[in-house]
Chain A
C-alpha cells in the first residue's frame, strides 16, 4: 500500500526561487526510500514539505491515503530526524524522547514504557538522565532517532542524519538505521547527498537535480540503467567515465588520439537513429588492461591507449587515472607491477557494459543490452 504520495508537488519560495518542480513520488508501506542529489538540489525542501514545515505551493501530498497539504506537522503522523540532531538542550534524554508523547497526552506509564523500550533498542539506558550537551555526536543522533521511534509514526523522515558523524560512526549508524527499519517494519524517507549511503541503504532511490527528480528506481537499476548522463555520473564511485564523440562507421570515436570502440550491430543501429553526437559512458570497473593476463570478459575490446598520470595501488587492484581528449578517466584494473611514469597502457572496455547518452540532451540511448 502507498504510504506517502506526491503528485506534481512543487515549491516556489517567497523570493521566487523554484526549489522543487513537479515531483511525483510514492513511498510504499514499509519501504526505505532515499532521496539523493547534490547540495542545493531541493532534497530538504521536498522532505520538509512532506513534514509540513514548508508549505506546498503546487500539487498534492497524501499520507496514509489522506490529503495533508494544509495539515499541521503534528497532525501528519510523521517523525523527523534532523542533521544537527535538534535535541532540546534544556531537557534530559528521557524528556527529549517523552516530549512528544506528553504533548499527545499519553499516560505516564505508557510514556515510560515506550521510552524505556526505545532506549533499550538504541543502547541509551545509561544516559537517560543526561542532557544533550553531555553526549557524544553518536549518542545525540541515537537520541534523535529515539525521539522519532517512541512516537510510532506512520512515516519516518530523515534529513542527512549522519553527515555530522565521523566516517566510522557513519558506517555503523547506517547499518543500525537499516536494522531499525527492518525491526520496526517502518516506512522511511531518507535524504542524503552521499550516493554511497543511498546505494547501501535504499530499497529505492530518487535522484534529484536542480529541483527535479531525475530517476526513481532500485539501486541496481540506477547503477545499470541510468536514465541520463547526470544520474550515471552521480551514482557510483569512482564515477563513470564519459567520452564525447560520435558514431563513425561501426565504431564510437572520441576524436584525435581518443577512444575508439568497435560496437555491436545492435548498438550501431540504435546509435545511428540518434542525433549524431554521442556520449559513451563506461564504469571504471568495466575497463580492463590489454594483455595484463587477468581474465577479461569476452566482450572486452581494445578501446583506448593512455599514459596514466596517477597510479593508486589499492592492494587488490590498481586505479589508473589518465586524461583523454574529452576529459579525465579512471580505470580500476587488476593488480600488476608498478608502472613506469610515462609508460602508456592499452585499455579495453567491456562492450556489454557500455552506456550511451545523447550528446546534446544527455538522455540515455537504449542499445538493447
Chain B
C-alpha cells in the first residue's frame, strides 16, 4: 500500500517534469494553427516547422560549427586536462598544492568576471569571427581537471613506478596506463565539457557576428528571440528540439556513466 503511494507520487512527478518536453516535441509536428491548444497529439503530422527552420537559417552549418568547436575543446580538455590532473595527482613538485588550490579558486569565479578581459584578448589576437576565438578560451577546464585528478589519485603509485621501470615516459604512462584505468572519469569530464560547451550562448554572441561562424545555440537563440522566426511558434520549437538533440543523444549513450559519476563525484558543471 505504501509502496503504491510512493509509485503514484513518483509517476505524478515524472509527468509534471516530462509533460512540457513531450508537448514541445509533439508540437513541432503540428500545423502552426494547432500549437496554441493543449492537446498532445497533432491532428495531422507535418514537417512544415522543420522545413521553415532549414529554409530560413543555415542551421546545418551552425551545427557543424558547434560540432567542430565541441570536438576540439573536448579533445583538448581531455589531453591537456588529464596531463594537468596527472601532474597534480601523481607527480611531486614544489608548489603543487598551491597550484591545485588556485585552480579550485578559479572554479568559483563566475565566467562573467572574465568575460571582458577575455574578450579584449580575443580582439587583440584578431580571433573574432573565427572558430579559434570560440575554442581557445575553453581548451582548459578546471572542473574537468578536478574530476580527473580525483580519479587519478586513487591509482596505486606502484603501478606507475613499474611502468617507469618498464620503460615509459610520463606521457606514455598517462596514455597507456592512466587513461585505460580511468575511463569513467574521462567520460564524465568529456560529457560535462560537452554539455557546457554545447549550451554556451553568451560567448559566441560576443565574438561571432558573421553568420558563417555562428554556433548552433547562438543561431537558435537569434532565430527565436531575435525575430528570425517572425513570431511563428512552430519553427522556434523545432529549432529548440534540433538544438537539444545532440545532448539527448549523448545522454542516452552515456546514461549509465553520467548518473554514476554525478552521484559519486558530487561535482556539477
Contacts and interface: CB of A to CB of B under 8 A. Distances in A.
A86 B167 contact: no
A225 interface: no
A116 interface: no
Contacts of B163: 88, 99
A89 B181 contact: yes
Nearest to A99: B166
B158 A103 contact: no
A175 interface: no
A46 to B, nearest CB: 15
Contact of A90 (B92, B164, B166, B181): B181
Contacts of A151: 166
Contacts of B162: 80, 82, 86-88, 147
Interface string A50-89: 0111000000000000000000111000111011101111
Contact of A86 (B94, B158, B180): B158
B61 to A, nearest CB: 41
Given A88-B177, A90-B181, A80 B165 contact: yes
Nearest to B94: A14
Contact of B166 (A84, A89, A100): A100
A14 B167 contact: no
Given A14-B92, A82-B158, A86-B156, A53 B164 contact: yes
Contacts, number: 58
A73 B165 contact: yes
B131 interface: no
Interface residues of B, number: 17
Interface string B159-189: 1011111111000100001001100000000
Contacts of A72: 164
Nearest to B161: A53
B167 A74 contact: yes
Contacts of B156: 84, 86
A84 B158 contact: yes
Contacts of A51: 161, 165
A168 interface: no
A14 B97 CA distance: 14
Contacts of B159: 86-89
A103 B164 contact: no
Given A84-B156, A86-B156, A104 B167 contact: yes
Chain A CB count within 10 A is highest, among B158, B163, B164, for B158
B181 A74 contact: no
A14 B94 CA distance: 9
A74 B166 contact: yes
A48 B165 CA distance: 11
A78 B165 contact: yes
Given A53-B161, A79-B165, A88-B159, 13 more contacts: A14-B94, A51-B165, A73-B165, A74-B164, A74-B165, A84-B156, A84-B158, A99-B163, A99-B166, A100-B165, A100-B167, A103-B166, A103-B167
30 contacts: A51-B165, A52-B164, A53-B161, A72-B164, A73-B161, A73-B165, A74-B164, A78-B165, A80-B161, A80-B162, A80-B165, A82-B162, A86-B156, A86-B158, A86-B161, A87-B159, A88-B162, A88-B163, A88-B177, A89-B159, A89-B181, A90-B180, A99-B163, A99-B166, A100-B165, A103-B166, A103-B167, A103-B172, A104-B167, A151-B166
Interface of B: 92, 94, 156, 158-159, 161-168, 172, 177, 180-181
Lowest 10 CB-CB distances: which A-B pairs, in order?
A: A100-B166, A103-B167, A86-B158, A74-B167, A86-B162, A90-B180, A82-B158, A73-B165, A73-B164, A86-B159
Interface of A: 14, 48, 51-53, 72-74, 78-80, 82-84, 86-90, 99-100, 103-104, 147, 151
